[in-house]
Amino acid sequence: MAKYCMYCGQMNDDGALFCTACGKSFPAQQASAAPAPVQAASPPYSTTYTAEMGPGAHKHMPTDVYLRDPQGKQLLVARRQSLLHRNYTIVDGSEATTGFIEEKTHLTHRTFTVQDASHNALAAVNVSNVEQNRAPPNCWMEDASGSRVANLAYTMGRMSFAAVKEDGSTYFEASMQTGGGIRAVLENAAKRAYAVQVYDPSVSPSMVLATIAALDED
């Protein structure tokens, strides 16, 4: 490439600092801005839990829902308050109350409302009461304003399900843990443990507890 001297018009090599004809210096070229470093794309959000039905106040019945991290540490427990209804108190590892799950029965469905420690509604899981040829019940999730945010899709009966948003993306999914041979299958079926993968940061651990409590059969 070549460049011309602004004083005499002489053509010079592009890298020249002085004109070869008149000796005038070329204006200093501005240093090109260094290209911004390429940042690696953030991986999709993903959090893993294990949700497990276990005994509570009624020691021989799996009435409570335990939520654990991948290392097995207990994060939250939804403790069922009574066998007569499906209301729960959510406590952390130190047994401090962090929220509640309150069930209300309507003509066509049941609503499990997730509340904070002050009983403010945060979200809800709704389960249809309408029988559909022994198929799993319709289930959908709502935000604090009552707007539907996801529907549940099932595979393998109730052994696996996913909360799917209208755009087709997945809020979270859960599958019953059945690996490890016949003995492990029987043990997991008895205690009903679920592997849960969360893909949306708006899904709280309490929401996972509420969904398992709403769908798991006593």
Give all domains of the chain, ordered by start, each with its CATH number: 47-215 (3.20.90.10)
Please tell me the predicted confidence (pLDDT) of residue 182: 46
d(CA 170, CA 16): 60
pLDDT for residue 137 is more than 70 = yes
| Chain mean pLDDT for the chain | 82
Instruction: Find, among 131, 101, 95, 126, the residue nearest to 116 by Cα.
Output: 101
Res. 157 pLDDT band, cuts 50 70 90: low
pLDDT for residue 89 is more than 80 = yes
User: What share of the chain has pLDDT > 90, as a percent?
Assistant: 48
pLDDT for residue 69 is more than 50 = yes
pLDDT tens for residues 197-217?
999 998 999 999 999 999 876
pLDDT for residue 104 is more than 70 = yes
Res. 185 pLDDT band, cuts 50 70 90: very low
pLDDT for residue 156 is more than 70 = no
**The total number of residues written for the chain in this structure:** 218
Q: How far is CA 198 from the centre of its chain?
A: 3
Residues in CB range of 28: below 8 A, 6 or more apart: none
Please tell me the predicted confidence (pLDDT) of residue 8: 66
